[in-house]
Amino acid sequence: MNPYPIGTPGVAWGADERTQWRSRQRKLRSFADDVEARIQRLAIRFDVEEYGRLDYPPDHYPLLALRRRDTSDDRPWVLVTGGVHGYETSGVHGALQFLEQRAAEYTKDINLLAVPCVSPWAYERVQRWNANAVDPNRSFKEGTAAAESAALLKLIAPLRGRILLHVDLHETTDSDESEFRPALAARDGKPFEPGLIPDGFYLVDDSENPQLEFQRAIIEAVARVTHIAPADDKNEIIGSPLVAPGVIDYPLRELGLCAGITGARYTTTTEVYPDSPRATPEQCNAAQVAAVCSAIEFLLQKA
């Protein structure tokens, strides 16, 4: 395998390598057209708020959240996030589709806060990292270097302890193995260890707060839309042992992952596989929507 085209193998990147990396990123799609316009159309039904701005000159992006009108302390808070990794398209479009098509069924029972695209610069460049070659999804920590993560932490801070459900929408893609994991190893001066990309949908639970009944309910709902990832011959998915069919777990807070920011009783990270020959983009979006709806239905049955 060829070495990653930036930096010296075995040496962690400095500022020069990060600048070089950024200069290679091209704008491939429009946040304003694909995402912001759809969010603004939803302003007839939700309060749309700009909870921060990203300044990566010459580019500037509003960070946008949608909130149920007339929230009430009688209803549980639900947080839906997408696009923490900008390249994971169905996370962004699935969140928007949920808001457009299904959210109205639930808003009488819940206070909904949704952030469809946490990382707009990366959405436009189909990238995992932000403009400074930082992964927002390892950066949800106090004093974080990622502006995307800092802004989201600040948005939810007044609701911490009141959010009962958080669904964070992601994908696992072939480009993880061909580009993003090699880039990560190069950036950190580590050797790249090849891995396997699972064919199908899976979930990541919180090992510090396992909620298997909840995860199983989501897997059951998503299985009606798209296929669930099988375990590999070590009974693992991407190097983690299965804790239930289609479910692995991580210590979310320790790793600074988005699904750990609320301390909610029920949290999950969806992982849709868009590169499967057996899945269309429409199915991937539908899988994200099914995951969100089934998670809310589970919560409402428990409440």
Residues found near Zn ion in the complex (CB under 5 A): 85, 88, 170
CB of 300 to Zn ion, least distance (A): 27
User: Which residue intervals of the chain are DSSP H helices?
Assistant: 15-23, 31, 37-41, 89-101, 120-125, 147-156, 174-175, 181-187, 212-222, 281-302
Name the pairing type of β-strands 236-237 and 247-250. Answer: unpaired
* Direct distance between the N- and C-terminal alpha carbons of the chain, in angstroms, rounded to an integer: 52
CB of 258 to Zn ion, least distance (A): 9
d(CA 103, CA 98): 6
Residue placing its CB nearer to Zn ion in the complex, 17 or 88: 88
Main-chain phi, psi angles of 245, to 5 degrees = -55, 125
Residue placing its CB nearer to Zn ion in the complex, 215 or 269: 269
Burial bucket for residue 53 (CB in 10 Å: 0-12, 13-18, 19+): exposed
Residue placing its CB nearer to Zn ion in the complex, 127 or 294: 127
CB of 119 to Zn ion, least distance (A): 10
Residue 4 in 3-state DSSP? coil
Residue placing its CB nearer to Zn ion in the complex, 147 or 259: 259
CB of 250 to Zn ion, least distance (A): 12
Residue placing its CB nearer to Zn ion in the complex, 153 or 164: 153
CB of 211 to Zn ion, least distance (A): 20
d(CA 136, CA 270): 16
Summary count for the chain: helices (H), strands (E): 10, 10
CB of 191 to Zn ion, least distance (A): 23
Record the tokens describing residue 127, joined without a space: 């990238």
